[in-house]
Structure 1
Amino acid sequence: MISQFQESLILPRTFQSVAMDTTYEDVLEHIDSGIMLFDEDGVLTFANKQMFGILELPRLAIMGCTITHLLANIQLNRFKKKQMLRGYREMVQKGKPNYEFADEYGRYWRVSLHSGEQMKGSYLFTFKEISDYKLIEQTAYQNDSLAMLGKLSASIAHEIRNPLTAIRGFIQLLHPHLHQLGKEEYAKIILAEIDRANDIIHEFLTSSKPSAPQIGLVPVAALLKEVVLLTESEALMKGCQINLQPLQGDLIISGDAKQMKQVVLNMIRNAMEAITERGDDLVGKIEVGARRDGAEVRIFISDNGKGMDICTLDRLFNPFFTTKENGTGLGLSVSDRIIKNHGGCISVSSRVNEGTRFVISLPLIQ
C-alpha cells in the first residue's frame, strides 16, 4: 500500500495556481538552495530559479506537474530522472528525511523533505549543494589515512627490510651454484621480487612522509622532454603513442626535479595502463604538454584510455585506493602530496570509455 501523498505525487492532476505572499516568494527566489513545493494533491505549485537551474528545465516545463509528468518530460536527461526516482524511493517510500547524490558534473547535493502538520498537507523539497563539505570530509579522511600510514610504515619498514637484505645476500651467494644447475632464472626472479617488495616499502614511507623537496630551478620543457624520452619505448611496447606538444622555453618552476619527474612518470604510466585496460583495437594516444596561465604553469597529461566514473574520481587520491589488480593505491596519493608541497595542485577530468586528463598547476618563477 502506498500513502495518500505517494499516490498524489504519481497520479496526474489539474494544476491550479496557488497565490503566495510576494515577499516570501522573492526571498525563496534568491536563496542558494533549490526548492520544490508540492501541494496535498501532489502538484508542483512552486519552484525557485535555482531549482530550474538544477533540473536544466524552463519554468513552464515543470509547473503544475506531478512526479510522473516530470519523469516523462523528454527535456529532463536520463541521469536526473534516475536520481529523482532514487530520491523518491528513499524519502517518500522509505521515509528518510535526507538523500545525497553526485550529479553528472561531479557536484554533491543533499535533498531534504519537509512535511507534516506545519506544512498543512504540502511537501517541501530543498536541494542544497554540499560539494565544499564533501571536499573537507575527503581531506580529513586523507589526513587520517596518512597519519595511520605513517605509524604503520615506521613500525614495519625496519622489521621487513632486514630479512629481505639477508635473503638477497644469500641468493647472490647461491647464484653461481644455480648457474651450474641451469636454474639461474630462479635467482633472477627471487631478486626481482625482493626489489619489488623493497619498492613497496619505499612507497609506504614516501606516502607517510615525503622527503623535503631539494629546491632548484626546473625548466618545464626539459622536464617533460626527459620524461617522454624515458617512457617512449615502454609506450610503443604497449601500443601507445606519446605526443609531446610544442613547449615554451621560458616556463620555469621552483622545485625538486626528481620529485617532479616522479609525478609526471607516474601519470604517464597510469595513462598507458588505462589504454591497455580498454581492451579494444583503438590506437592509444597520450598527449603531454604545458602552457602558461597567468602566474602559473599548467602541465597536462591526457589519454584516450578506459576513463573513470564519478565514484572512482572521488576516491582517486585516497591512500590505498586502487583499481589495479597489483596496485598499492599509493602512486597518486604520493603525487598529490608532492605537488601540494610545491605550492600547486592536481585536477582531473574523465569520462568512461573516452579518456582522462590530468592537469598539474604550479607557480612559475617570474
Structure 2
Amino acid sequence: MLSEFQETLLQSVKAYQSTQLVKNKYENVLQQLDSGIMLFDSDGVLTFINVQMARLLEIPRHSLIGCNLLQLLRHPHISRYKKRKILRLYRETIFYRKKNHEFVDEYGRYWLATVTYGDQMDGDYLLSVKDVSEFKQIEQTAYQNDKLAMLGKISAAIAHEIRNPLTAIRGFIQLLRPHLVQLGRDEYARIILNEIDRANDIIYEFLNSSKPSAPQKVVISIASLLKEVVLLTESEALMMGCEINLQEADPHMKVSIDVKQIKQVLLNMIKNAMDAIEEVSEDHSGVIEIDARLDGKYVNISIRDNGNGMDKALLGRLFDPFFTTKEKGTGLGLSVSYRIIKNHRGNIHVDSFKGTGTVFVISLPLVP
C-alpha cells in the first residue's frame, strides 16, 4: 500500500517537474521576444512580464509582478507620461474593445499594442507591444513620395497653361514694337518683354523646385560647404538679431552631392530657423547651432535653433507640399528639400518641442 502511494507521489512529482520544465521553456521563449509582453489573470493581476516590456516601462520586472491596473497607475517609479499611455491603452482596448492601438512614446518611437482575451485565454488578458517605427517610416516615406509625385504633375500642368499665353503675348509685343518706337514708347515694349521673361523664369524655378532634376554630383568637403552656407546667411541673421554658431567640422569628411541643390536645402533650413527665432525674439536672443558628425557611413548635419518650436501635430505635416504656417509661405520649401535629400540617398529627421526649439538632422552618405 505504501509503495503504491510512493509510486503515485513519484509520478506526481515527475509530472510537476515536467510541467515546470515546459513552463520555464515557454517563459524563456517569451523573454527573448523583441515584443513587450504582459499577462494579467482574470482578476486583473499582473502574473507575467517579459524583459522587453520592463525596458519599455524603464522599471525592474519584480516590482511589477502582482500589481493590478490601479497599482500600476499609482506606482512611484512609473513616469506620469507612461501612466497616461497605460490609461489610454486600457480605455481603447478594454473599454472600447479595440484589438489594436498605436501610440508614440516620449522618444518618438511608434508602438503597436495588441490585447488578446476571451475564451481562448481562459479569462486571462495578454498584452503585447511591438516597436513598429521602421514600418511607420517606410509607410510615411511612400506616402510622401506619392504626394511629391502628384505635386510634380500639378506643377507641370500649371506651368504649361501659363507659358502658352505668355508666349502669345510676347509675340504680339514684338510685332507692335516698331509702332511703339515710332511713338517714342520703346521703353514700354522693353519693360513688358523683360517682365514676361521674368515670369517665365519664375515658372521655370517653380517647376524645377517642385520636381528637382537629377543631381549633378561633385565631391566636396562638408566643412567648406557649411562655411559657404554660413557666409551666405550670416549678414541676414545679424540684421534679425540672431547668432549663427558653426562647429568646426572634420575636413576629411567628404560627400558626393549636387552643391547647388544641397545649398538650397541648407539655406531653407537656416531661413526657417531664423523665422522661428523671430517669433520669440522679444523673450530671448536667437541662436542657431550648426555642426556635422560622423555616423557610420553617413555624416549627420544638424541645424538647431532656440525658436518657438512645434507640437507633434505640426511635425506630422511638416513635409507636406503646400503646407505652411507662414503668412507669405508657399509650403514648398521643406517638401522640395525632402525630395532633394532622398535623391542623394540621404534622410531628413526633425525633432521639436513647443517653446523649446527645433533641430533638423540631414544625413548624407560619405565618400569612401
Alignment map for 1:238-249 (pairs within 5 Å): 238-249=240-251
- Contact kept in structure 1, 2:276 and 2:308, CA below 8 Å: yes
Give the superposition deviation at 1:344.
2.5
CA distance in 2, matches of 1:285, 1:258: 25
Partner of 2:72: 70
Partner of 1:15: none
CA distance in 1, matches of 2:47, 2:141: 40
Q: Which has the larger radius of gyration?
A: 2
- What TM-score comes out, normalization by structure 1 length? 0.79
CA distance in 2, matches of 1:347, 1:155: 31
Alignment map for 1:119-138 (pairs within 5 Å): 119-138=121-140
Partner of 1:177: none
- Contact kept in structure 2, 1:217 and 1:254, CA below 8 Å: yes
Matched AA of 1:242: I
Matched AA of 2:23: D
Alignment map for 1:1-366 (pairs within 5 Å): 21-161=23-163, 202-203=205-206, 205-207=208-210, 209-278=211-280, 280-293=282-295, 295-366=297-368
CA distance 1:195–1:355, change in 2 (3 Å): farther
- CA deviations 1:26-59 (Å, max 9, x no partner) are 2211112111111111111111111111111111
- Contact kept in structure 1, 2:159 and 2:203, CA below 8 Å: no
CA distance in 1, matches of 2:234, 2:136: 38
CA distance 1:68–1:357, change in 2 (3 Å): same
- CA deviations 1:133-157 (Å, max 9, x no partner) are 2112112211221222122111111
Matched AA of 2:73: L
Query: For 1:65, what is the secondary structure of its paired residue?
Result: coil
Count of matched residue positions in the alignment of Structure 1 and Structure 2: 326
Where do 5+ consecutive residues of structure 2 fail to align?
Answer: 1-19, 178-190
Give the superposition deviation at 1:295.
4.7
Give the superposition deviation at 1:259.
0.9
Matched AA of 1:138: Q
- CA deviations 1:285-313 (Å, max 9, x no partner) are 01123345555433222111122334433
Query: For 1:317, what is the secondary structure of its paired residue?
Result: coil
Give the superposition deviation at 1:334.
1.4
CA distance 1:164–1:353, change in 2 (3 Å): farther
CA distance 1:364–1:109, change in 2 (3 Å): closer
Query: For 1:70, what is the secondary structure of its paired residue?
Result: helix
- Contact kept in structure 2, 1:149 and 1:204, CA below 8 Å: no
CA distance 1:282–1:118, change in 2 (3 Å): same
CA distance in 1, matches of 2:292, 2:61: 43
CA distance in 2, matches of 1:236, 1:156: 38
Give the superposition deviation at 1:267.
0.7
- Contact kept in structure 2, 1:154 and 1:205, CA below 8 Å: no
Where do 5+ consecutive residues of structure 1 fail to align?
Answer: 1-18, 174-186
CA distance in 2, matches of 1:112, 1:320: 36
Runs ≥4 residues deviating over 6 A:
194-198
CA distance in 1, matches of 2:273, 2:132: 31
CA distance 1:37–1:285, change in 2 (3 Å): same
Give the superposition deviation at 1:199.
5.0
Query: For 1:269, what is the secondary structure of its paired residue?
Result: helix
CA distance in 1, matches of 2:234, 2:202: 23
Partner of 1:11: none
- CA deviations 1:247-280 (Å, max 9, x no partner) are 4444433222211210110110011112123364
CA distance 1:269–1:197, change in 2 (3 Å): farther
CA distance in 2, matches of 1:201, 1:90: 50
Give the superposition deviation at 1:216.
2.4
CA distance 1:294–1:69, change in 2 (3 Å): closer
